Amino acid sequence: MSKADLHIHTTASDGRSTPRQILENADKHNLEIISITDHDTIRGYQKAAKIADEYDVRLLPGVEITSDFNGRECHLLAYCFDPNHPKIKQLIAQHYKSRLARAKWIVNELSKQGLEVDIEEVKAEANGSNIGRPHIAAVLIDKGYVASFKEAFIRYLSDQSLGTIYNQYYSHHEVIAAVKEAGGAIVVAHPGNLYSDEELNELVTAGIDGIEFIHPSHDYSRQKQVEEFADDHTLLKTGGSDFHGGDKEYQKFFGVVTINTKYVHRLLRMTDQRKAINV
């Protein structure tokens, strides 16, 4: 089977591997097609695109966009859009600002609980990457407030412990429109048990093109359910490892949680048609 991985993070967001390391490892694991899907940034993809021809791997444009879905954060994966389209540039600029403002909000929430974290420490931890909660978690570990990422999320950083997280992300409607205008495909990431079928139907009505059915958080029965949902609604099916590098727990998924390239070819046919119509 020829394999693809359409969900990978790098040091451009909260992943631990550089874009080059991802390409090297993808080549080693005989992945035919990959997409680098950092949180709200395409810098990792752009770096990889410059050097991709040194490796026997096909690289597709990708990004994991955080959208505001009725006041909740909803991760949407975008593929094969024009990275230079003004709508994509606008969205990414807005989400960069939103991530910084959101990190400041989270730091302020932590201070109410007696945890002293300075936004400058979080920025230093992110070191130019798009800021996310894992960077805040790393500062909490450094300062001895928690012993592990897991503890940081369980006690302080999960959606449940923070309540409604302040954000200025585009709504799911705006994200879907921008990606389609840029000729891309837009896919609901790791539905897992995050959404009811009603909510998934709402996303379908809003115009999503596909749904991620293969993901490390999906057991076989959830995978089958999502697959059935996709087939019932004529949606594209995608998948990948959601690789973030780092500890052994996650390392094991790279090259293992993959999809058959036939699913990617369907996606490519769709985005080729969309680009032809958009012109």
**Residues binding Fe ion (CB under 5 A):** 64, 75, 189, 242
Using CB distances below 5 to 8 A depending on partner kind, what does residue 133 bind out of Fe ion, Zn ion, ligand AMP, none?
ligand AMP
Nearer to Zn ion, 14 or 40 (CB): 14
CA dihedral 156, 157, 161, 162 (to 10 degrees): 110
Residues 108-147, one symbol each (x = binds ligand AMP by CB under 6 A, - = not), give ------------------------xxx-------------
Using CB under 5 A, pick the residue from 3, 4, 6, 14 that binds Zn ion.
14
Asked if 244 is part of the footprint of ligand AMP (rule: CB under 6 A), the reply reads yes
Using CB distances below 5 to 8 A depending on partner kind, what does residue 150 bind out of Zn ion, Fe ion, ligand AMP, none?
ligand AMP
Report yes or no: 135 and 14 within 8 Å, Cβ to Cβ: yes
Instruction: Report the nearest approach of ligand AMP to the CB of residue 14 (Å).
Output: 5
C-alpha distances in Å from residue 63, one per residue of 40, 95, 255, 268: 6, 12, 19, 16
Could you tell me whether strands 31-36 and 210-214 are parallel, antiparallel, or unpaired per DSSP bridges?
Answer: unpaired
Instruction: Please state, in angstroms and rounded to a whole number, the distance separating the CA atoms of residues 15 and 21.
Output: 11
Residue with tokens 């990617």: 264
Listed in sequence order, the residues at least 6 apart from 234 whose beta carbon sits closer than 8 Å to its beta carbon are: none
Nearer to ligand AMP, 231 or 249 (CB): 249
Cβ atoms < 10 Å from Cβ of 87: 18
Q: By three-state DSSP, how is residue 65 classified?
A: strand
Report yes or no: 59 and 28 within 8 Å, Cβ to Cβ: no
Nearer to ligand AMP, 152 or 235 (CB): 152
Using CB distances below 5 to 8 A depending on partner kind, what does residue 121 bind out of Fe ion, Zn ion, ligand AMP, none?
none
Q: Which residue is nearest to Zn ion (CB)?
A: 14
Using CB under 6 A, pick the residue from 153, 229, 253, 254 that binds ligand AMP.
153
Using CB distances below 5 to 8 A depending on partner kind, what does residue 81 bind out of Fe ion, Zn ion, ligand AMP, none?
none
Instruction: Report the nearest approach of ligand AMP to the CB of residue 133 (Å).
Output: 4
Report yes or no: 106 and 165 within 8 Å, Cβ to Cβ: yes
Q: Is 27 exposed, middle or buried (0-12, 13-18, 19+ CB in 10 A)?
A: middle
Asked if 97 is part of the footprint of ligand AMP (rule: CB under 6 A), the reply reads no
Nearer to ligand AMP, 209 or 242 (CB): 242
Reported as type and span, the H/E element at residue 186 is strand 185-188
Q: Which residue is nearest to Fe ion (CB)?
A: 75
Could you tell me whether strands 3-8 and 259-260 are parallel, antiparallel, or unpaired per DSSP bridges?
Answer: antiparallel
Asked if 150 is part of the footprint of ligand AMP (rule: CB under 6 A), the reply reads yes
Binding site for Zn ion (CB under 5 A): 14
Binding site for ligand AMP (CB under 6 A): 14, 39, 132-134, 149-150, 153, 244
